[in-house]
Amino acid sequence: MILRLTLAASLGLLASLPLAASAQQDKAAACAESAGIVMQAVESRKEGVAKSKARAALRDQIGDRGAGDMLADWIWSLPEDQLTDEVGAAWEAQCLAQ
């Protein structure tokens, strides 16, 4: 009886591994995509694009007015010397950590 339960539990765990791997891949792809959006906004700021124009683009890309506004506000609050690729890398790392 214990052997059957152990075997059933093991098979259940093995069956869930592809789903877990798929979920991790989906999460990694989503985090990479969102980091790309962040870096587009960072580049826009570095190129002198108006915050209002970048905000509108972020709203469209994200599909959420509040999130687009907050992201634009955050990026435009960063000191100019911090507008590096590190912003996107940090964003992606935090996303993956959630």
Q: What is the pLDDT of residues 40-79, one digit of tens each?
A: 999 999 999 999 999 999 999 999 999 999 999 999 999 9
- Biggest CA–CA distance in the chain, Å, is 70
Say which residues have a Cβ less than 8 Å from residue 58's Cβ, sequence separation at least 6: 37, 41, 67, 68, 69, 71, 72
With a cut of 90, say whether residue 7 has pLDDT above it: no
Q: To which H or E segment does residue 86 belong?
A: helix 85-97
For the chain, what are the domain ranges?
43-98
pTM of the model: 0.75
**pLDDT score recorded for residue 73:** 96
- What is the average pLDDT score of the chain? 84
With a cut of 60, say whether residue 38 has pLDDT above it: yes
**pLDDT score recorded for residue 93:** 95
